[in-house]
A and B are shown apart, each in its own frame.
Chain A
Amino acid sequence: MAPPPAEPPRRRRPALGGLPRLALLLPTLVITALCFVIPLGLIAVYSFGTVNEVNFDVYFGWTTQNYHDFTSTLYLHTLARSVFLSLSTTLSCAVLGFIFAYYISRQPPRAQQLLLVAVIVPFWTSFIVRTYAWVDLLQNLGPIDRFARALGLHGHIDILYTPYSIAIGILYSYLPLMILPIYVSLERIDPALYDAAADLGATPFRQFRRVVLPHAVPGLIAGIIIVGVPALGEYVIPEILGGGKTLMAGNLLADQFLETGNYPFGSALAVTVMVVLMLLLFLLRRAQPAVEAQ
């Protein structure tokens, strides 16, 4: 028998057949450093500038006025309302999304693909067209209203143009975003694990808690972030389904850039939102080891 081959000299193994690891990072660097961080820097600089309201020139005078303007009670009230609406909608989305993702993950592979496609296909119709479809659905004298009245409801459902219809619209638009990451996490659970747990006498609830939940956590967190944060900045849905009666943070922000032309103030708003959310992320990461250990 030949002697075993000598060990190759110990050095850090490249991640993929010879490519230095930095090369793997390059695409990300280009996309983030060049096309994201730099524009962000521009926004940060703008937030300290002033705008000429007549011709929309932006001057850089290093003022903090924009941030002061932001703290008026008017805006804080709007922000609070947005946060509450987004948060509650995100949580509902998480519950529904989890149920559906779990159900998909327990199907045979063919069925899984079919269900995934069934979830995505409606979203190839154009977001605006779908949202206006909800106007038709939710309006008084619309199909749901008539159905409810047929079941005995007195009066009308009065859902359209209220915060509830905004919530439904957001829930609807973001549900696939919640389902997909959770599905991806749950899909890798080996079905044998369920059988093993059952064989060991675990109750269905226990199986769920010990097998499913731990695997679902990364996907859930991803889903909540993917849904919750953009929901906060959403302005199209509140406008179409809210009847212009519910001002959300997203409307406020978008207006600065699209309507008023007050770029410095809008930038200050954006920077504040970003800073707050990054802080949240930081805290979340601190808490994560504790969550994962469980």
Chain B
Amino acid sequence: MTEHDALIDPLTRGALLKKAGAGALGLSAASLLAACGSSGSSSSSAGSSNVIAGQAILSNYPGWMGKHNLAAFHQKYPQASIKMISNATSSSAEVVLQFKSRQYDFLLSDTTDSGQAHAADLITPLDWSKVPNIQNISEKFRKAYPWGLPTDYGKVGIAYRPDLVGNATITSWHDLWELIPRYSGQTVFIDLERDCMGSTCKYLGFSSNTTDPGEMSKVQDAIVRVKPDLKAFLNTNVGAGLINGSTAMAMDWDYDVALLQQKNDKIKWVLPDEGVHAYLEGFTAVKNTSKIAVIQAFLNFLATPPQYADFVNTTGTAYMMPTATPLIEKSISKNPILVPTPAVLAKTEFDKYLGADGTTLWSNTWTAIKAA
């Protein structure tokens, strides 16, 4: 990803982390270096406990960092630095293998993956006394992401063109499900397990982290019922068809819709009444990393309004630090779709790790839906 693209389309981060269904060609070999567990990142340690020194290696999504974050950090701590390796990865299997491989010191990882890594005993929890600035991040996010520093999140709601559905008004998942058969072949769902089925859980009034087989069976039925009338399940450019009208309704991420609205203002965003599910991600440290001091210093540094604002302005994501608002670009901070108001957050449920059985249940249900 070039910087230039980030400028043109600041809100473009596709659910790359979440491209579970994409045939995931982007499986990075570095992460696979896990299966036989290579030796850990064993360079010289951080020296005396008062000096933050050493280079911590971060596996991150391409371009998912403020333009000046790393340089500014190095300026503040001249003996420390962060090296960022780009991995356009998504599947839980791959991220967990990245933890396992010990090739990196810390990773960008979402709630599900960090949860699983935690269960597999592959992370180093942070010493929060060394990261006091964590207070700047709203509590709801901190609670949902206890393993490291949460950085961003994405809600899945509805985007639609009222002019293409007879000027109907959609306010809930229920409305959407009703309209899909009436406008057959014009609705797009997201082609990712957690996003698609999670939203369906909301439609049916379940938690988007349910592991109840009975509930999942109902989720399966609900999707299979409308599947013949869907246009497609997509994982990139999900809502793009809304611009020229080849798609009338879409299940889509907040930042994606915000971007689409810039191209065609007839597109409307809906935060459905029943609520939404969202992914939540951040930086988590790998177990037995020798650079924990550097990592903690960096995360503490990142959690200050100026640095965090730089991060948000570069990536264009929905953000989680109210105190940073004055420093964030208006196109993001003034956008009701992206601002973390309490009302919005009250309706948002973050993904959790579902445990081995839960993950298998979701996985099998998804396969059954796709095979139908």
A and B part of one assembly = yes
Binding site for B on A (CB under 8 A): 53-56, 58, 74-75, 77-78, 139-141, 158, 160-161, 235-236, 239, 243-245, 247, 251-252, 254-255, 258-261
Cα-based distance from A139 to B243 in the complex (angstroms):
14
Binding site for A on B (CB under 8 A): 20-25, 27, 34-35, 91-94, 96-97, 100, 116, 119-122, 185, 191, 227, 230-235, 241, 244-246, 356, 359-360, 363, 367-368, 370-371
- Interchain nearest-CB distance for B329 vs A (Å): 31
A259 touching B120 by the CB < 8 A rule?
Answer: no
A236 touching B25 by the CB < 8 A rule?
Answer: yes
Q: Residue on A with the closest CB to B117?
A: A55
B93 touching A74 by the CB < 8 A rule?
Answer: no
Q: Residue on A with the closest CB to B120?
A: A55
Q: Residue on A with the closest CB to B369?
A: A247
B370 touching A244 by the CB < 8 A rule?
Answer: yes
Q: Residue on A with the closest CB to B245?
A: A141
A247 touching B367 by the CB < 8 A rule?
Answer: yes
Q: Residue on A with the closest CB to B185?
A: A158
Residue among A54, A74, A161, A236 with max Cβ neighbours from chain B (10 Å): A54
A243 touching B23 by the CB < 8 A rule?
Answer: no
Q: A75-B371, A261-B92 are in contact. List 18 more A-B contacts (CB 8 A).
A: A54-B116, A55-B120, A56-B34, A56-B35, A78-B371, A161-B232, A239-B21, A243-B234, A244-B21, A244-B234, A244-B235, A245-B233, A254-B23, A255-B21, A258-B24, A258-B93, A259-B24, A261-B93
- Interchain nearest-CB distance for A149 vs B (Å): 13
Q: Residue on A with the closest CB to B189?
A: A244
Chain B residues with CB under 8 Å of A56's CB are: 34-35, 93, 96-97, 100
Count of A-B contacts with CB under 8 A? 90
Chain A residues with CB under 8 Å of B94's CB are: 258
Task: Sort A-B residue pairs by CB-CB distance and give the 10 closest, nearest first.
Answer: A243-B232, A261-B93, A244-B233, A55-B120, A258-B24, A161-B232, A53-B356, A247-B370, A244-B191, A247-B371
Chain B residues with CB under 8 Å of A235's CB are: 23
A245 touching B230 by the CB < 8 A rule?
Answer: yes
A77 touching B371 by the CB < 8 A rule?
Answer: yes
Q: Residue on B with the closest CB to A145?
A: B246
Chain A residues with CB under 8 Å of B363's CB are: 259-260
Q: Residue on B with the closest CB to A242?
A: B232
B23 touching A236 by the CB < 8 A rule?
Answer: yes
Cα-based distance from A254 to B370 in the complex (angstroms):
14
Cα-based distance from A53 to B234 in the complex (angstroms):
27
B368 touching A74 by the CB < 8 A rule?
Answer: yes
Cα-based distance from A40 to B244 in the complex (angstroms):
49
Cα-based distance from A245 to B224 in the complex (angstroms):
10
Q: Can you report 13 A-B residue pairs in the complex whose CB atoms are below 8 A from each other?
A: A53-B359, A55-B96, A55-B100, A55-B120, A236-B25, A243-B231, A243-B234, A244-B232, A244-B235, A255-B21, A258-B23, A259-B21, A259-B92
Residue among B21, B27, B246, B371 with max Cβ neighbours from chain A (10 Å): B371
Chain B residues with CB under 8 Å of A261's CB are: 91-93, 96-97
Chain A residues with CB under 8 Å of B22's CB are: 239
Chain B residues with CB under 8 Å of A141's CB are: 244-246
Chain A residues with CB under 8 Å of B121's CB are: 55
B233 touching A54 by the CB < 8 A rule?
Answer: no
Chain A residues with CB under 8 Å of B25's CB are: 236, 258
Q: B122's contact among A55, A245, A258, A260, by CB below 8 Å, is which?
A: A55
Chain A residues with CB under 8 Å of B370's CB are: 244-245, 247, 251
A74 touching B359 by the CB < 8 A rule?
Answer: no
Supposing A140-B246, A141-B244, A258-B93 touch, asked if A54 and B21 sit within 8 A by C-beta, the answer is no
Chain B residues with CB under 8 Å of A78's CB are: 371
B185 touching A259 by the CB < 8 A rule?
Answer: no
Chain A residues with CB under 8 Å of B235's CB are: 244
Cα-based distance from A140 to B245 in the complex (angstroms):
10
Chain A residues with CB under 8 Å of B359's CB are: 53
A239 touching B23 by the CB < 8 A rule?
Answer: yes
Q: Residue on A with the closest CB to B20?
A: A259
A245 touching B21 by the CB < 8 A rule?
Answer: no
Q: Residue on A with the closest CB to B37?
A: A57
- Interchain nearest-CB distance for B278 vs A (Å): 21
Cα-based distance from A78 to B372 in the complex (angstroms):
9
Cα-based distance from A247 to B23 in the complex (angstroms):
11
Cα-based distance from A158 to B186 in the complex (angstroms):
11
A74 touching B232 by the CB < 8 A rule?
Answer: no
B245 touching A252 by the CB < 8 A rule?
Answer: no
B233 touching A243 by the CB < 8 A rule?
Answer: yes
- Interchain nearest-CB distance for A243 vs B (Å): 3
Q: Residue on B with the closest CB to A53?
A: B356
A245 touching B93 by the CB < 8 A rule?
Answer: no
Cα-based distance from A47 to B28 in the complex (angstroms):
23
A245 touching B232 by the CB < 8 A rule?
Answer: yes
Cα-based distance from A100 to B96 in the complex (angstroms):
49
Cα-based distance from A251 to B245 in the complex (angstroms):
30
Cα-based distance from A77 to B359 in the complex (angstroms):
23
Q: Residue on B with the closest CB to A78?
A: B371
Q: Residue on B with the closest CB to A74?
A: B371
Cα-based distance from A137 to B345 in the complex (angstroms):
41
Q: A258's contact among B27, B227, B230, by CB below 8 Å, is which?
A: B27
Residue among A53, A235, A247 with max Cβ neighbours from chain B (10 Å): A53
